Amino acid sequence: MRKYLLIGASAFVLGAGSMAYVSQAAIASAQPKTQTYKTLQLFGDVVDIVERQYVTEVDDQKLIEAAIDGMLTSLDPHSGYLNPDSFDDMRDQTRGEYGGLGIEVTSEDGVVKVISPMDDTPAFKAGVKAGDFITAVNGESVLGLSVNEAVKQMRGKPGELVTLTIAREKTDPFDVKIVREVIKPKSATAKMEGDYGYLRVSAFNEKTTDEAEAALTDLRIKNPKMKGLILDLRNNPGGLLDQAVGISDLFLDGGEVVSQRGRDPRDIERYNARTGDAAGGLPMVVLINSGSASAAEIVAGALQDRKRAELVGLTSFGKGSVQTVIPLHGGIDGALKLTTARYYTPSGRSIQKTGIEPDLEVAETRDEAQRIANRAFQFSEASFRNALNAEEGKKRIGAHEPAEAPPTDFDTKTGDFQLARAKDVLRHGSVAATPKLPKPAPKMAAVVAPRSPNVEPPATKK
């Protein structure tokens, strides 16, 4: 009986202590909330003043949507608010069919920047390139607009002409005329490159894994003596996480593909491959470059860490964060796109801001090698001012002479040097066994601070 009483007394003491702690915590937590409510009242006051005193009438809905989007984009470049129209557009895009030009864009300091044009789309055929800045649409400036607002101007009825004003490094701004189409990008295609299979994956939408598996199966049936496989993820802006896992699963015989970790260190979610290799164990090389982002980096990192493939090309974009789309009131009021986790490769690497480095670094052109040596301008996650931090102590590789670049007798207009070197790696059996080319000699190797070329920031009062 005494034992039970002692236990009861201990429980009472602990309970009383806990209540005291909870009371103190409640008081402490109430103080920040009070400040939050005060700030929200300030926001209401600002909206009221703008409504009454701005030089022209304002649209309250647009004003508040812009404020929400501004709040979210201040967190990191990939969080934002999707109004109902933008939310519908996003769902169309992930389904693999929508109307538009065929470019993946983001925003940096109020300027719309191209992450990558999608293969065989109007923008791709018109020569739009990763890293280009879009400063105007149909003669109307898009400087200072959110990505959602700029995209809305670029999308519309198929068959209509759209004029984009492009700012590109080392060139004056120029106009590109593009006719809108219903975009149905085939995200995976395959063909033979000599003795080797070539699988191009240009994006990760709901159809990607099925398309890739079908294309690879057909290629192997038609070419039973295929000696190896090249997976091309260059200028792939990413997409759906489950499709990145699906593509990795095609080539991994079980084991981890990627993990994602949220705010709580204990909150870890792991994604694993199933048994079976759709490539039948064929030796593989993966092509990447600075336009390979997000889901593309998950695949490249998984195949590299698991020793399933070697990587050829340039360091990838470095987007190692996961965005969760959270519908508001069932999507009636749009949705939040919120960064909720970082992802990690099977060996535990976070590549946020740093990117995935290839096993054999190869510049596509001699000019690209020169830019890497000069650091005149390189577009990556690290170039965003408010990007999530990398792991402590880790930094993206700076200005340097790339290991390889096309020799002077290689015609880069008709040939693909990175692809040629990928075939060399397969031919010799590994990167280590592949004879290396002389390092390109740059004219200058000075570090120049990256800037937005030929783009004037919106005027501000001084």
Given a contact cutoff of 8 angstroms between Cβ atoms, the answer to whether 318 and 296 are in contact is no
- Helix, strand, or coil here: 336? strand
Give the residue from 266, 262, 244, 264 showing the smallest Cα distance to 341: 262
- Alpha helices by DSSP H, 307-375: 366-374
* CA-wise closest residue to 293 among 351, 370, 243, 222: 351
3-state SS record for 413-424:
CCCCHHHHHHHH
Query: Which residue in 89, 132, 232, 305 is the catalytic one?
Result: 305
- Rounded Cα–Cα distance for residues 212 and 210 (Å): 6
- Cβ(197)–Cβ(229) below 8 Å: yes
319 is catalytic: yes
* CB atoms closer than 10 angstroms to residue 159: 10
Q: Which residues of 234-272 are buried (b: 16+ CB within 10 A; e: fewer)?
A: bbbbbbbbebbbbbbbbbbeeebbbbbbeeeeeeeeebe
Spell 174-192 as b/e; 16+ CB within 10 A means b: eebebebbebebbbbbbee
Say which of 113, 146, 290, 319 is annotated catalytic: 319
Nearest-angstrom CA–CA distance, 110 and 462: 18
Residue 443 bears catalytic tag: no
HSE value, Cβ hemisphere, 13 Å, CA-based, for 440: 27
Q: Which residues pair with 438 in a beta bridge?
A: none
Q: Where are the beta strands (DSSP E) in 276-396?
A: 284-288, 310-313, 321-327, 335-344, 360-361
Place of tokens 């106009």: 175
Q: Phi/psi of residue 455, each to 5°?
A: -120, 120
Return the number of other C-beta atoms located less than 10 Å from residue 388's C-beta.
18
Q: Are 134 and 164 in contact (CB under 8 A)?
A: yes
- Catalytic option among 248, 294, 383, 452: 294
Active site residue 132: no
Q: Environment class of residue 414 by beta-carbon count within 10 Å: exposed (0-12), middle (13-18) or buried (19+)?
A: exposed
Beta strands in 142-213 (DSSP E): 161-167, 174-179, 181-183, 188-193, 196-201
Distance of CA 91 to the CA centre of its chain: 17
Active site residues: 294, 305, 319
